[in-house]
């Protein structure tokens, strides 16, 4: 199925923070991990991800460090900060609020299941 990418709008930051909440990751890894966890629904593009990472770092939501891998290109790992966790909680609440409202309009029970 070809999903309308515009539905992703606004939730990408939340999904990235969620990944980093569980473990430090480098950019490329996030793209693969997100694809895997969503069962190929989200194919986050590099051109979408990196600008978001840079913005989050500037805002103090995440921090980065470089890790040297023998005979590999160095990887830039990102870790979530306390501030980032706070943002994640807010985004999650927003998402649940929003999804519940959509389901209500669609005639569902309004339970989002998270």
Residues that bind a second copy (CB under 8 A): 1, 3-11, 14-15, 18-19, 34, 37-39, 41-42, 91-95, 97-114
Q: Which two tokens stand for residue 32?
A: 């693969």
Q: Which two tokens stand for residue 100?
A: 């519940």
In the complex, minimum distance from the CB of residue 98 to DNA, in angstroms, rounded to a whole number: 11
In the complex, minimum distance from the CB of residue 79 to DNA, in angstroms, rounded to a whole number: 13
61 binds, among a second copy, DNA, none (CB under 5 to 8 A by kind): none
The yes or no reply on residue 44 touching DNA (CB under 7 A) is yes
**Who contacts 54 (Cβ-Cβ below 8 Å, separation ≥6)?**
none
**Please, are residues 49 and 31 in contact by the beta-carbon 8 Å criterion?**
yes
Give the DSSP letter of residue 108.
S
In the complex, minimum distance from the CB of residue 71 to a second copy, in angstroms, rounded to a whole number: 32
How many residues bind DNA, per CB under 7 A? 29
- Longest CA pairwise span in the chain (Å): 56
28 binds, among DNA, a second copy, none (CB under 5 to 8 A by kind): DNA
**Nearest C-alpha neighbor of 31 from the set 51, 21, 14, 16:** 16
């Amino acid at each position: 199925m070809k999903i309308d990418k515009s539905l992703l709008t606004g939730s990408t930051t939340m999904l990235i923070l969620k990944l980093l909440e569980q473990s430090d990751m480098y950019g490329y890894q996030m793209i693969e991990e997100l694809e895997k966890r969503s069962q190929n629904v989200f194919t986050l593009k590099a051109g979408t991800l990196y600008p978001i990472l840079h913005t989050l770092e500037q805002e103090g939501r995440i921090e980065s460090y470089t890790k040297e891998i023998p005979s590999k290109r160095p990887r830039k790992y990102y870790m979530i900060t306390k501030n980032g966790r706070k943002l994640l909680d807010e985004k999650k609440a927003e998402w649940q609020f929003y999804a519940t409202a959509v389901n209500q309009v669609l005639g569902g029970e309004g339970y989002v299941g998270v």
